[in-house]
Every structure is written in C-alpha cells, then in structure tokens.
Amino acid sequence: MSGQVRPLARSFGSEVAKLSRVRIELYALSLNTRGSGAVGEMTRLISNAFSQVKESVSRTRGDDGKAGRGIILLIDEADALAQSREAAQMHHEDRAGVNALIRGIDDIAENRLPAVVVMCTNRLEAIDPAVRRRAAAVFPFARPERAQRFAVLQTGLAGGGFTNADLEQLADATGSGGERDHGFTYSDLTQRLIPALVLDAFPERPLEISRALEVAASLEPTPPFRDQQP
C-alpha cells in the first residue's frame, strides 16, 4: 500500500455522501485491536467493533426499515489482523481473531447493512484466503510514475520558487535508476522529501533546485516489501 491510500480510504466517504445524500460515518479499526495478548481479547475487540457498526446503523432505522446512515469500517495494516491462518507460526489467538473478523464481515453481508469494510495492506498475499474471497474488489496502488511524482511535487512545493523545469529534474531524481530499482513512494515525497526541503532552507535560505537535488539524493526511498521465503 502506498502512502496515498490511507487518506483516500478516509476521505472517499465524503464523495459517497454527496452523491447518495446519505450521512456517512468512518470507523477505524487499528492495531490496538490486537490487545495485550490475553486469551480471547483480540476476538472480543474485533467482535465489539462490528457490533458497534451494527448498532450505529440500527439506531438510525426509520419506520420503513431504511437506515439513515452508511458506515465505512477502515482496517489499516490489515495483514496484522487478517493474516492467513495457513501460516505455521500463527498463534491460536490470532487464528481466533481472523475467525471473528470473517464472522463480522459475513454478518454485515447477511444483514444487508449499509456498511463497507475497507482493508489497507502492503502484503496482499499475507491476507487470509477466506478474507480475500469475500472482497468485492481489490485496488492495487503502485508507486508514482514520473508524471505523478511531478504532480505531487508541483502541488507540495507550490510557491517555493521552483520552475517546472526544476520540478522535472526533481521528479527524475526521485525515480528508479542506477543501482536502485524502485523510486519514491507517495509518502516518501509528501512526508519526507518535501518537509526535508523546507527544513533545510529554514529560516532564511531560499529553496534552490541544486540543493533540493542534493537532499533528494541523501534520502533512500522506502524499499518494496518482500515476504521472506520459507
């Protein structure tokens, strides 16, 4: 999952609300759901999360049975909660948590609740097959290409004095090349490079392309995640 997925997952509900004219609420299920490791805790926390979604919908049902809102349940770093139960090293508590997650998803579908479960992960292959089979759609997000890097830099560095030619150079510098077979991710650009350029120039030095290229060269892009082979 690239860095742009989290904000997209958190914000697309706004567009859905505008188009459908229905209130949309976002619930986020974090890694804290794994709990402290006590027996049954992870299962209980996951089950409670789905129960809250169900109750939130029920509270808004009118006399005609229609719900007055829709729910987005966002599960970030989903591989930590929905890891394949086929993994030999998987703990019993984790398997029970995945079972609870599957029951919660099935309960939403069986009760035709106006809710969608969105899972974000860098490790699609690590997700349990039973969870993946239940996915209505899978949207892969690749690292930004040159034109996309240019657009991000143009927006993030607007007003900084860079020309389009400068930004073209910076877009090239943040791509793959030489001994590096991968370029910068979206989050590398927005959360690392752009802040680094601003801090480097603060408080009085102007932003300059020569220095920007040096800063970019000093930063290593986030390496692609590669599952360890058994």
Q: Is the domain of 128 the same as that of 156?
A: no
pLDDT digits (tens, 9 = 90+) for 15-30: 989 998 888 999 988 6
pLDDT digits (tens, 9 = 90+) for 173-205: 999 988 889 999 998 999 999 999 999 999 989
Total domains in the fold of the chain? 2
Tell which of 109, 133, 157 closes a domain.
133
The CATH number that applies at residue 160 is 1.10.8
* E strands present in 22-158: 23-29, 69-75, 115-119
Task: Answer positive or negative: Cα dihedral of 79, 82, 87, 89.
Answer: positive
The residue segments making up the domain with residue 172 are 146-218
Tell which of 133, 163, 194 closes a domain.
133
pLDDT digits (tens, 9 = 90+) for 112-171: 899 999 998 888 888 999 999 999 999 988 899 999 999 999 999 999 999 999 999 999
Residue 30 in any domain: the answer is: yes
**Would you place residue 230 in the very low, low, confident or very high pLDDT band (cuts 50, 70, 90)?**
very low
CA gap 131, 105 in Å, rounded: 9
Model's pTM, two decimal places?
0.75
